[in-house]
Structure 1
Amino acid sequence: MAEPSLKRLQYFIALAEHGKFQLAADAVNISQPALSAELKRLEDFVGKPLFHRSPVTKLTAAGEALLPYAKSAVGAAHRFNEYAAAVNTGAPTSISIGTVATFLHRGLPQTITDFSAAHPDILVTTEEATSAAQSDMLLGHDIDIACGHMPLQHPGVICTPAARESFWLCAPTGSPITTIAEAVDSPFVIFRKSASPIYHDTVVGICRTHGFEPQIHHRTASWSAAVEMVAHGLGVSLVPSPVARNYHGDERLIFTRIGTRPNAPQAWITVRREDQSTLIGDLALGLVIASEALADPVAD
């Protein structure tokens, strides 16, 4: 049986993303019967159904397992076309970086500026996204470098720890709480675990190391929201050094450094394995070096 074409993989991706045959068919500019026939051929090749058709259209376990690889194959073909055009016409190539907001305080802007000065023919773009979203984006070739809070477990990528930073107690100005020991009975503002398991578990772990369970009253998906909640008197928080450094001088807040760093890194730079020895890998290494240089050193 012939291997599936890229078009057939695109149809598979379209139905997975749109969830309805007609919407998927419209997205890839074919008729609904033609889309159904192509997907049936793909399922025959796989040997298992890729979608549940009733009561709603959704991926089967086999479909869930194969979707990242379909995205990777289609993305790789798209990248090949881009590079082929660049070789043929001399047009600039591009590198796309996915990032969480805290990397703005880990040297990301300056690293991009320096790289662009050294490689003016390469366009570097960024896209803010959660760590979880970046995993799919990297495997689907929507981005070339992922800068996030969690390591990506996949055989096709290289994941490098970029920072193991100290944490700081963040409290509103005028608060009597100046040490973590005094925060035992205080309401905590904490990162939602679904947004960043590493940050959530790190903060809870620090509190437990100091002998108490944090009283979590507010959960956020960004450090800026956490800091603003503290500034408005809703509680205290533990924030990594890039956040404390960014808000240094804010008269609404006071920061006190916690004396030890967590054992686990809180920042990771990830690239596809095939890109490690390219300029993409060089830029990723520059981001790792910049992040490590800005990490806040404290005695362990």
Structure 2
Amino acid sequence: MEGTAMVEPSLRRLQYFIALAEHGKFQSAADAMHISQPALSAELRRLEEFVGRPLFRRSPSTRLTPAGHALLPQARAAVGAAGRFNDIAAEVASGAPRTVSVGTVATFLHRGLPEAITDFTADRPDMLVTTREATSADQFELLLGHEIDVACGHMPVQHPDVVCTPAARESFWLCLPSELRGLSLAEAAERPFVIFRRSASPVYHDTVVGLCRSHGFEPRIRHQTTSWAAAVEMVAHGLGIALVPTPIARSSRGDERLAFDRIDSGPNAPQAWVTTRGEDQSGPIGDLSMAIVVASEASAGGSEVSAE
């Protein structure tokens, strides 16, 4: 209204916005936020008045408008930053160690991440490092929402508030039952494949399919997994063959049921990335992220896997 100052939205109002976006129903969102449905509706109307555009379409079902989609990541980031401030303030007040949270895909656990964390905390006993396994895509949302401080994955993030640093590229190995030792990838074309489900990891799924195509065939996908441990175990039981990255091949080399043959991955080799928020680059979070990059590069230096 003319002559009336618009009050900036409170964090609580942003939480209501996020709740409705996630639940998709006013009553469900109201229940989750422990307020009445009319009160939630009134708060969201005030938020829409501040923005100047509808954030939700109410009919035939509740869903975000383009304006709502544009503002949802920012709302999550604001609420997450406030929560992170409160956590750190509590740690400072109590004298407890400051916590740094690292998001990671499973392969970074075989690529020097544990060693980087151990060395970092040895140098900074006042810091506590926690880890959270998540897909590369999920880590982006967690990072912007301040739920993690470092993201270790396979997707570069195009966002003005983050900094992505390339880590090691991954070589791939043909993982075979030991009785098929010496079989080439081309010779394995007719055999069943164990492969990452694409919804779990588009990068790994597409890399394996691309490597097979570069060798002149489409993989016969029989088993799909969401973890490398499951893929390797299926191969060990003779259910198929798989293409696995070096960290997984290296960690499995002592299994007598398996044999490995290195594949020329060329430009198909996926790039690993370590990502932080730009505001954290000059502090301990930035130091930890660079330590992870260095550890990743060091772990990729060797090419030997098989102990034949």
Give the distance between the partners of 1:176 and 1:248, measured in 2 at CA. 13
Aligned to 1:245: 250
Amino acid at match of 2:276: V
Aligned counterparts, 1:21-100, within 5 A: 21-100=26-105
Give the distance between the partners of 1:203 and 1:118, measured in 2 at CA. 39
Secondary structure in 2 aligned to 1:190? strand
1:131 aligns with 2:136: yes
- Deviation sequence 1:272-292 (CA, Å, 0-9, x none): 111111111110111111011
Give the distance between the partners of 2:182 and 2:96, measured in 1 at CA. 57
Secondary structure in 2 aligned to 1:113? helix
Aligned to 2:217: 212
Give the distance between the partners of 1:19 and 1:120, measured in 2 at CA. 44
Q: Quick check: 255-264 or 135-144, which moved more? A: 255-264
Give the distance between the partners of 2:119 and 2:175, measured in 1 at CA. 33
Provide closer, same or farther for how the CA distance between residues 297 and 211 of structure 1 changes in structure 2, counting only shifts above 3 A: farther
Equivalent residue for 1:234, pick from 235, 239, 247: 239
Aligned 8 A contact 2:181 2:260 in 1: no
- TM-score (normalizing by structure 2): 0.90
Amino acid at match of 2:99: S
Aligned 8 A contact 1:152 1:159 in 2: yes
In the TM superposition, residue 99 of structure 1 has moved relative to its aligned partner by: 1.1
Secondary structure in 2 aligned to 1:181? coil
- Deviation sequence 1:191-221 (CA, Å, 0-9, x none): 2222222222222222222222222222222
Secondary structure in 2 aligned to 1:180? coil
Give the distance between the partners of 1:74 and 1:176, measured in 2 at CA. 54
In the TM superposition, residue 181 of structure 1 has moved relative to its aligned partner by: 1.9
Give the distance between the partners of 2:273 and 2:267, measured in 1 at CA. 15
In the TM superposition, residue 12 of structure 1 has moved relative to its aligned partner by: 0.7
Amino acid at match of 2:244: V
- TM-score (normalizing by structure 1): 0.92
Aligned to 1:163: 168
Aligned counterparts, 1:100-115, within 5 A: 100-115=105-120
In the alignment of these two chains, the number of paired residues is 298
In the TM superposition, residue 109 of structure 1 has moved relative to its aligned partner by: 1.2
Sequence identity, in percent? 70
Aligned to 2:306: none
Give the distance between the partners of 2:24 and 2:97, measured in 1 at CA. 36
Q: Structure 1, unaligned stretches of length 5 or more?
A: none
1:202 aligns with 2:207: yes
Aligned 8 A contact 1:168 1:255 in 2: yes
Secondary structure in 2 aligned to 1:195? coil
Give the distance between the partners of 2:230 and 2:158, measured in 1 at CA. 29
Aligned to 1:287: 292
Aligned 8 A contact 2:209 2:218 in 1: yes
In the TM superposition, residue 16 of structure 1 has moved relative to its aligned partner by: 1.7
Give the distance between the partners of 1:169 and 1:265, measured in 2 at CA. 16
Give the distance between the partners of 1:29 and 1:122, measured in 2 at CA. 35
| Pairwise CA RMSD | 1.9
Give the distance between the partners of 1:294 and 1:157, measured in 2 at CA. 25
Secondary structure in 2 aligned to 1:112? helix
Amino acid at match of 1:187: P
In the TM superposition, residue 88 of structure 1 has moved relative to its aligned partner by: 4.6
Amino acid at match of 1:62: A
Aligned 8 A contact 1:149 1:199 in 2: no
Aligned 8 A contact 2:102 2:132 in 1: yes
In the TM superposition, residue 87 of structure 1 has moved relative to its aligned partner by: 4.4
Amino acid at match of 1:109: P
Aligned 8 A contact 1:97 1:146 in 2: yes
Q: Structure 2, unaligned stretches of length 5 or more?
A: 1-5, 304-308
In the TM superposition, residue 31 of structure 1 has moved relative to its aligned partner by: 2.3
In the TM superposition, residue 22 of structure 1 has moved relative to its aligned partner by: 2.7
Aligned to 2:3: none
